[in-house]
Structure 1
Amino acid sequence: MKKLFRKLYTDLFLENRLFIALGICSAMFLFAFFLPILGDLPYIAFGVLLLLILIDIYLLHSSKKAVFLRRDVPERLSNGDDNELKIYLENFYPFQVAIGIIDEIPFQFQKRDLWFNTTLKSREQKIINYFLRPTKRGQYDFGFTRLFVKSPLGLVSRRFNVAGKEMVPVYPSFLKLREYELMAISNRLTDVGIKKIRRVGHSMEFDQVKNYVAGDDFRTINWKATARRADFMVNTYTEERSQHIYCVIDKSRAMKMPFEGMSLLDYAINASLILSSVALIKQDKAGLITIAEKTKNVVLADKRPTQLNKIMEVLYKEKTRYLETDMEALFVSLRSALKQRSLVVFFTNFESMSALERQLPYLKRIAKYHLLLVVFFENTTLRTLSDEQAKDVEGIYIKTIAEKFAYEKRLMVKELSKHGILTLLTAPQNLTVNVVNRYLAIKARQQL
C-alpha cells in the first residue's frame, strides 16, 4: 500500500489549470473578508475543486491499460545525416487525452527542449516523427520516453516512463552512401553534382565482338570476324577493372578542425566510404589505410561484397590523434602492403606552406610508385573574411591575413602539381562530390 501511494505521488503532476482554479478560490476567500454577501460560496467552490481533483486522479488511474508507447530507433545512426526516429502512440482510455512527451535523447546532442504535444481520442493511434543529426561517431545512449497524460478536466497529469534505455551506434554516413548507390542505379548522379566525364579514347581492355551499328568507331572494326560473318563486326572495350583504389586518412591533430559541428576527420571518413562504394560499383578493388604518429589500420584492397562492411567497421572506431603524422611510416606501409601501382587518395590538411614542405619529400616518394591524389581542405571561414569589405583598420588587417592564408593554399596546389602530384583543394561540404568526380575523371583519362 505504501509503495502504491508512493508511486501515485511521484507520478502525479499539477497542471496550470489547477493553479488558476486555486488562484480564483484564494481571491474569493479574500473578497469574502470584505464582502460578507459571498457567504459560504468560497468554501463551496474550494470543495468542488477538491472533488474535481479526486475525479481527475480517478479517471487517470481507472484503466489498467492506459496509453501504449513505442519508440522506433534505427539499429544504427548515420553520422552527419538527418536520421528519422518515430514514436508510436495508442490511447486505451475511454475518453480523449492530451499528451506531452519528453524523449531523453543522448547527451551528445546537447538538446534539452525536445517536447511534443498531441491529443488522442479513445482507441486512436498516432505516429510522431522527428529527426536527429549526430556529428560524432560512437555509442549514443537513449534514456526513457516520459509521457504526461491529462484527462479532459486537465487539473493534474499522470506520468508514464516507457521505452527504456538503449544504446545505438553512430556509423559513418551510410544514408548518403545508400543515396549515391540508388542514384547510380537510376543514372541520376548529376543531381548531387557528379559530372559525366567524357572518355578520352578507349580502354584497351577487350569486352566483346558485336555487329556494327551506325555510330560505331570504324577504327574498331574486326576484319577477321567481318570476313567470317560477311557482315561488319566491331570490337567493344570496357573500362579497366580491378584497379586498386586506396583511401589514406590522416588522423593527426590537423584533422580535428571543426566545420558545421563535424571534424575534418569525419568529412574524410564519409567521403572515403562513398568513394570506396563507387570504386566497387566500377568493379575496382577498394582499400583503406589510416595513419597518425604510426600506421593504425590497413584494409587490403578487394572487391568482395563484404569489403564495404569491413571498411565501415574500421572507420566506425577511428578517432583524431593529437600528434604529427609520421609520413615515413606511411611510405613504408604503402611499399609493403601495395603490390601494384594504385590510386592513393590521401585525405589530410595543410594550414601553412612550411607544413607542406615537411611532408613533401615523402609525398614525392609515394608518387614515384603510385598515382597520388592529395585532398586537403579550404578554410571557408577565411574565404568569407577575405570576401568581406573592410570597414576599419582592424578589418583591413583581418582581410589581409585571410587573403594571405588563402593565397598559401593556392601555392600548395601549384607546388604539389609541379612534382607530378594530383591535388584537390575543396570545401568540406563539397568533399564527397569533388572526390568522386576526380576519381571518375582519372578513370576516364586512363591515368592509372
Structure 2
Amino acid sequence: MPIFRSLFVAMRLWFTLIVLVLLFIAAYALPILFPLVRVAFVAFVILIGLDAWLLFRNQARRAVFARREVPDRLSNGDENPITIYLENQYAFRTRVEVIDEIPFQFQRRDVLFNAHLNPRETRAIRYELRPTRRGEYSFGAVNVFALSPLGLLKRRFQFEQGKMVAVYPSYLQMRQYELLAATNRLNEVGVKRIRRLGHSMEFEQVRPYATGDDVRTINWKATSRRSDAQGTSLMINAYQDERSQPVYCLIDKGRVMQSPFDGLTLLDYAINASLVLSNIALLKQDRAGILTFSSQVGQLLPADRRTGHMLRILELLYRQKTQFLETDFESLYASVRTHIRQRSLLLLFTNFETVNAMHRQLPYLRRLAKDHLLLVIFFENTELRSLLDLPASDTEQIYLKTIGEKFAFEKKQIVRELAQYGIQTILTAPQNLTANTVNKYLELKARGMI
C-alpha cells in the first residue's frame, strides 16, 4: 500500500522504545513501577497513532512540495549551483529532512539538509556540485521526509524523478573571461595588460592627438590642413588590430594527456582553455578553429567567426573522448598541411615529460613552425614541485629529490630547445593554463606576429 511505502520511523521513536524496555526490565525488580510503565506504553502507542494521523490524514494532496532547479547543462570543473525549493502545506510547523539523489559520478553521500518550515512557508536550499568529467549525468529523486511536532514517524515525499543533465566544457569560465574582457578587467583573472610593440598595418582613421599617443604616428599633412583652418591641432594615424587571423587549437587526446590534477585530466584542462581562448579570439575579430588528434587525426572544425560558431566549438569539445594510444604527430602534420593552407596561429596542447620524448616529435614541430606560428603548450608536474619544495630528511628522500630535479630540469630544457628553432612555448601548471594561454595570445597579437 502507498501509505506503508512512504512511512518511516524517526530516531525519537527508537529512543523512546528503548527507554520503555529499560523501564519494563526495572519493573521486574520494583513491581510498584509496573502499572506506571504500562500506562506510559499505552500513551506511547496512542501518540504513534496520533502522529500517523497528523502526517497521513490528507492523502488527496501532497502536504509538502519540493522542486529541484538544475541548469540545463553543467560546467565541467566549476562549482554549479543547485537549488531545491520547499513549501509546507501542513497546518503545523514541520521539520523536514531532504535527501537529493545526485548522479553517481560525484560519489557523494552527504547531500542531506534539515529545515523547519512554518505553515505555508516556502524556503530555498542551495548547494553546489563540481563535475570533473564531461558526459551525461542522471539525477534521481528529491526525497523529503516530513515530521510532525511529535517527531515519532516520518512521511516520505518524492519529486523530480529521473532528470538527465549534460556536463559541457567550462562555459562558466568562458563567460567569466568574456565579461571581464568586455569590461576591461581581465587582469582580475591573471591576464596581464600587454603594451603594444609597434603597429599593425591595418589603418583605421585619422583623429586628434591625445595625451599618451605615440608621436611617431603624427600625420603632418593632416595636421597642417587642420591648423590652417582651426589653429594648431596635431592629428595622428590610428591603427587597429589585425583582424580575421586564423587561430587553431590543436588538442592532443593521447595517453600523455590523461594525467589527473585536482579531479580533472590534462585533456579537460586543455579543452576548457581552448573554449575560453576561442571565445577571446572571436571577440578580437579573429577566426577560431579546433583540431583534435591522437593515434590518428580526430575532428577538424575550420576557423571561422560567423554567428553560431562558438556553439559549434562547444558541441565539438563536448564530444571528445579519451584515447590511450601513442600520439602520432606525423598524422597531425599531414592533416594541418592538407586542411590549413593559410598561415595561422597554432596552439598545440600536449605534454612532454622528457627531452627524448620531445626529440621524437621535433621534426614535425619544426615543419609546423615553418608554415605557421606554432605555440606549444605543455604542463608542469605540480606534484613533483611539491616534492622538491620539501626538505629531505633521509637518504631515500635525497634520491627522490635528485630524480625530481632531473625531471624538472628536462622540462626547462625542452623550452630552451624549442626556442632555438623559433617555436613559442608555454610551460604552465594546469590551474594557470587558461590565463597563461590568453596572455600569450594577446602578447603575440600585440607584437604583430599574427
TM-score (norm 2): 0.96
Task: List gaps (5 residues or longer) in structure 2.
Answer: none
Aligned to 2:30: 35
Deviation at 1:228, TM superposition (A): 4.3
Deviation at 1:227, TM superposition (A): 4.6
Equivalence map 1:125-140=2 (5 Å): 125-140=122-137
Amino acid of the structure 2 residue aligned with 1:159: R
Aligned to 2:332: 330
For 1:87 and 1:216, the matched residues in 2 are separated by: 55
Q: Deviation per CA, 1:68-98, whole angstroms, max 9, x where unpaired?
A: 1000000000000000000000000000111
More displaced 10-residue stretch of structure 1: 54-63 or 255-264: 54-63
The answer to whether the Cα contact below 8 Å between 2:20 and 2:37 also exists between their aligned partners in 1 is yes
Amino acid of the structure 1 residue aligned with 2:87: E
SS in structure 2 of the partner of residue 309 of structure 1:
helix
Amino acid of the structure 1 residue aligned with 2:67: R
Task: List gaps (5 residues or longer) in structure 1.
Answer: 1-5
Match of 2:206 among 202, 209, 224: 209
Match of 1:158 among 149, 152, 155: 155
Aligned to 1:312: 314
For 1:205 and 1:60, the matched residues in 2 are separated by: 75
Q: Deviation per CA, 1:3-53, whole angstroms, max 9, x where unpaired?
A: xxx222222111111112212222222222222222422221111111100
More displaced 10-residue stretch of structure 1: 26-35 or 155-164: 26-35
Q: Deviation per CA, 1:291-313, whole angstroms, max 9, x where unpaired?
A: 01111111111112311111110
Aligned to 1:364: 366
For 2:144 and 2:217, the matched residues in 1 are separated by: 72
Amino acid of the structure 1 residue aligned with 2:17: L
Q: Deviation per CA, 1:213-258, whole angstroms, max 9, x where unpaired?
A: 4544343233443454435432111111111110000000000000
The answer to whether the Cα contact below 8 Å between 2:345 and 2:374 also exists between their aligned partners in 1 is yes
RMSD across aligned C-alpha pairs, in angstroms? 1.3
Say whether 1:174 aligns with 2:176: no
Match of 2:45 among 43, 47, 50: 50
For 2:296 and 2:212, the matched residues in 1 are separated by: 54
For 1:216 and 1:420, the matched residues in 2 are separated by: 32
Amino acid of the structure 2 residue aligned with 1:16: M
Say whether 1:192 aligns with 2:189: yes
Counterparts in 2 of 1:399 and 1:270: CA distance versus 1, 3 Å: same
For 1:249 and 1:216, the matched residues in 2 are separated by: 40
Amino acid of the structure 1 residue aligned with 2:174: L
Match of 2:388 among 373, 378, 386: 386
Say whether 1:62 aligns with 2:62: no
SS in structure 2 of the partner of residue 405 of structure 1:
helix
Aligned to 1:3: none
Counterparts in 2 of 1:26 and 1:213: CA distance versus 1, 3 Å: closer
Aligned to 1:146: 143
For 2:98 and 2:62, the matched residues in 1 are separated by: 18
Aligned to 1:116: 113
For 1:200 and 1:99, the matched residues in 2 are separated by: 64
More displaced 10-residue stretch of structure 1: 208-217 or 387-396: 208-217
Deviation at 1:147, TM superposition (A): 1.0
Amino acid of the structure 2 residue aligned with 1:34: A
Say whether 1:97 aligns with 2:94: yes
The answer to whether the Cα contact below 8 Å between 2:24 and 2:34 also exists between their aligned partners in 1 is no
**Identity score, percent:** 55
For 2:391 and 2:322, the matched residues in 1 are separated by: 36
SS in structure 2 of the partner of residue 277 of structure 1:
helix
Alignment size in residue pairs: 443
For 1:127 and 1:51, the matched residues in 2 are separated by: 35
For 1:354 and 1:25, the matched residues in 2 are separated by: 76
The answer to whether the Cα contact below 8 Å between 2:351 and 2:378 also exists between their aligned partners in 1 is yes
More displaced 10-residue stretch of structure 1: 216-225 or 241-250: 216-225
Aligned to 1:278: 280
SS in structure 2 of the partner of residue 40 of structure 1:
helix
Aligned to 2:376: 374
For 2:393 and 2:212, the matched residues in 1 are separated by: 61
Amino acid of the structure 2 residue aligned with 1:122: P
Amino acid of the structure 2 residue aligned with 1:304: R
Counterparts in 2 of 1:30 and 1:232: CA distance versus 1, 3 Å: closer
For 1:349 and 1:218, the matched residues in 2 are separated by: 44
Moved over 4 A (4+): none
Deviation at 1:364, TM superposition (A): 0.4
SS in structure 1 of the partner of residue 239 of structure 2:
strand
